[in-house]
Amino acid sequence: MCSYSTLDFIEMYKNTQPLFDAPNGDLATFYMDVPASFDAMMELLNFQFHGIHEEVSAFVNNLYSLVEKAVPKKNCMEIVSPPSAGKNFFF
């Protein structure tokens, strides 16, 4: 079982160049940089939650709690939306 927190992963990846599923070559042409990723995520969440800040904040807090294992025995989240609504893009 992985015992890393989100901050542990951030620290680990600061000095590495993760490839994951990226094609060979220049990663900058495949992935967005951190500021662009954040902007895209916020645009998607604001669209999904109709710009209601409290709902965006609640979703992000719930996702963070899930990833950080803050609630014992809670290890999944159901994302329900129409087809092509951005689920795969976000995750």
pTM over 0.85: no
- Report whether 89 contacts 44 (CB < 8 A): yes
Amino acid (1-letter code) at residue 7 = L
CA 77 – CA 65 distance, rounded (Å)? 11
CA 81 – CA 63 distance, rounded (Å)? 16
Give the residue-averaged pLDDT of 39-68: 93
The model's confidence at residue 23, banded by pLDDT at 50, 70 and 90, is low
Largest CA distance in the chain: 41
Residue position matching structure tokens 């025995």: 73
